[in-house]
Structure 1
């Protein structure tokens, strides 16, 4: 058993002091004051939350271990306060068969320090027009299905995938990208692209596929989840689809909430991600969508790369930004402390909504009987985001040097400490 003393937890939207007693993997008591002769951690008034949930991460193993491994990725997750993550299938080999899904899940369990659920690929090698064996992959434990990193180019492939995924009652997660509209673009097609003399990617590459998919989702009844929403038009389409009864959920990444293409002043590939940073109007639209629930949740799209890769020019560097270690800090600082969003809403978008949408076993409240997957955050003191302190192999983020509040102090998974900010081992 162990006791967390003097923590603050959210109760009806307000922070209140509570002690929390853990026995094994479960919370067994939550009271204003608990006295027990067990190992005790003094939270000193820090904010205790359920562990955060990220439905969109890339841990790169197998195939790209120089970018990230399951061990380093999950350690980065723990450092960010995440206790459950969903790993995308763009690996080598791609988990596009039941056997590969089972093997990947075993690898995740063996090497991870947080709970790692695994996506299966919609179609072979993420690009085939032939839909994978969805039923058997689900039977092996695939949490959902996606070709993340690649847009499904043909309507019939998407239709057949939706039919198959609907039968197993899992989410189908779409990376929206019409290849015919990309034209070798590397950033948003707008004034800043012209200023930097870089080829642009129109927002239509996202929204036209979304419109197609929403019609197909309505016809099939599948749970359709939109990855990394980035445009105002996409927000409007999702809002309308929800009103029409389409079973659609959506996520937005921290960088699309906090940055726009106007922040890109030079040819700096740390700002290169897919979808790209859009206009200020788009950024305001995704923030508004997250606030009103059109966008259900935050997901980091944690995408680590090697330092040499991201040191290249915008034209040559890979798309991708890390985010799992910095997302809560950034969003608490820029959205909650600024008064745009309440802490309760942020936790809802980073814990409750993903648990509900993906039917996860994780706990959504600090309460008796719930699993002891917890994170303790320092909301009072600021720190500077530093590459030297990151657990991820990838340091590819433009947020290095930002002043933030909300540092993760401790993360527990199944009642065991997997990250301790004060420990010299982290």
Structure 2
């Protein structure tokens, strides 16, 4: 069998297991109502939680940024690609989060792929929640440190691992809001363990930033946590509605990351026009209490609508509202039925989630209406799911 035949066989196997992914072509701006593959659809699948991705004020800021700064940075931050507007964005992020410093990146994956290797290496140890995002898993593997994974949210299991470790440097990695479950890590307990066992605590707040905490400052602000050993990671393409990411924390720690993170050093900086737009995005997040209140109303409406039904809505107080289905075929079948009703909800299957936990991932946006959620509920109630 040739290499090409091997690839074709692997694709056929994925399709047979209902694991083959398909890209849809979106022809309109990100919003609850979109045109996809030529069809008008009601979408519950983006991470645009506050509805800022098509916000006119952000589009105007991006245009103004391109006129002021051009379209490209031209080089990495440490060569000639760090512009005054990048510096302003990092200062604004640090002030907003209540920390000393922040470092901006072009994507969240780049932060997560590089941060573990900057903090740990051979002879060190990383302790990671089993349901962490794939980028954190990849970053841990790239670090070449020992990689210990503890059961999801199991603080006692983590403490046993920390207690038995003789590693010189220890790093705890966790999502704040888990992207496929919508639940929140026990952040205060994790920080207590980091303090007790002299470990770093790196928290990926990708799905908490902009949504949780006072003025949308995130899950760590909601929990009231501060420490020099705490590093917050956030993305700027979800609730912030643009693109990019950051790491934030104590000033010397952020300086150390700037000097050691290969995914920061060896890549061209993000467009300064993006940084210009993000300054407006943070203002919109800070003044976005009404948008966050709207999300809470939508979450309550969905939970009430599914409360006495056969559907299992997983516990979540975030815009991520997963409906647990179990096997891959059922998840795909339900998603296809909804698609036939012009409702777009993604079916999430392994390896993104553990085996036998395939689900619909319903993502709510502050721009969804009550009628939108009612339409989803009505469509779900017409589906016959095998018992």
Relative contact order (alpha carbons < 8 A, sep ≥ 6): 1 or 2 greater? Answer: 2
Q: Is the TM-score greater than 0.5? A: no
When you count helix as a share of all residues, which structure comes out higher? Answer: 2
- Using the size of structure 1 for normalisation, the TM-score is 0.26
- Using the size of structure 2 for normalisation, the TM-score is 0.28
When you count strand as a share of all residues, which structure comes out higher? Answer: 1
